[in-house]
């Protein structure tokens, strides 16, 4: 860090600022930043988008994982994603996304950036992805093929027991003429959600499920529609409540 600061200080005649890059083209700004010792593609993209406000898209492990599971960036291995120490090389993901996001506005890039990171941390975790509640599950190659979490015998047994118990409880409630209690965000019954609760009981879980229902009715067919789905469900998390 000290060497970087010293270089900028010397080149800018005592000025410790990157403001001189703001009016440069993205290519020139990126070229200069990449020439700084220790700066990689992700760091440069963060500075370009979030500080210089120029069109770029930072790619971290969360974004790379989502791209790999959706099937947009193929992995050159037969190993399960959960077993890999390194996967979906960030430069490859960056190249893939930059070609497609180049025409997007800054506000869209800002929102898409943090929504995809949140999606990766909340739903698309590396070792325990929550595919059943993920709004992108119907367009995800990983989920459609059945990930490791879905084929694990213990997990499958737990899901079977949980589903059977929920079915029995629903039948008993129907016979008694009472309503079923609200579903917990992490229960397997999310695969077949109960009818929506009255408006006074709606929370962020219902909003996410509704977003999923909207997506089912009109499944995204283009890259832009898929990204819009990510942003739409991400926006619902900001309205309060705990996401699944």
Contact 141, 147 (CB under 8 A): no
Tell me the average pLDDT across 27-48.
Answer: 92
Tokens, residue 205: 């879980």
Residue ranges covered by each domain of the chain: 1-56, 57-244
Percent of the chain with pLDDT over 70: 55
Dihedral angle sign, alpha carbons of residues 49, 52, 53, 55: negative
- Does the pLDDT at position 46 exceed 90? yes
Contacts of 26 (CB under 8 A, 6+ apart): 48, 54, 55, 56
Question: Average pLDDT in the 159-170 region?
Answer: 44
pLDDT at 75: 64
Instruction: Burial-class residue 123 by CB neighbours within 10 Å (0-12, 13-18, 19+).
Output: buried
The answer, yes or no, to whether residue 187 has pLDDT greater than 80, is: no
Mean pLDDT over the full length of the chain: 70
| Closest to 69 measured CA to CA, from 140, 149, 128, 148 | 140
Q: Is the pLDDT of residue 113 over 50?
A: yes
pTM: 0.57
Q: Is the pLDDT of residue 11 over 50?
A: yes
* Confidence (pLDDT) at 238: 56
């Amino acid at each position: 860090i000290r060497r970087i600061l010293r270089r900028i200080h010397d080149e800018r005649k005592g000025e410790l600022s990157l403001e001189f890059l703001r009016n440069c083209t993205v290519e020139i700004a990126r070229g200069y930043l990449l020439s700084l010792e220790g700066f990689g593609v992700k760091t440069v993209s963060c500075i370009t988008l979030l500080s210089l406000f120029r069109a770029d898209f930072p790619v971290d492990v969360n974004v790379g994982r989502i791209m790999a599971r959706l099937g947009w960036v193929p992995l050159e291995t037969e190993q399960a994603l959960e077993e890999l120490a390194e996967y979906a090389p960030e430069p490859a993901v960056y190249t893939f996304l930059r070609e497609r996001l180049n025409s997007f506005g800054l506000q869209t890039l800002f929102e898409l950036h943090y929504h995809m990171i949140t999606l990766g941390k909340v739903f698309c975790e590396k070792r325990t992805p929550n595919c059943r509640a993920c709004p992108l599950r119907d367009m995800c190659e990983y989920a459609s093929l059945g990930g490791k979490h879905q084929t694990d015998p213990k997990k499958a047994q737990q899901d079977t027991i949980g589903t059977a118990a929920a079915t029995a409880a629903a039948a008993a409630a129907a016979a008694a003429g009472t309503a079923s209690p609200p579903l917990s965000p992490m229960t397997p019954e999310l695969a077949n959600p109960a009818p929506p609760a009255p408006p006074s009981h709606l929370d962020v879980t219902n909003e996410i499920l509704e977003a999923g229902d909207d997506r089912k009715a009109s499944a995204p067919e283009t890259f832009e529609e898929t990204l819009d789905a990510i942003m739409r469900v991400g926006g619902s998390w900001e309205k309060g409540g705990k996401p699944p």
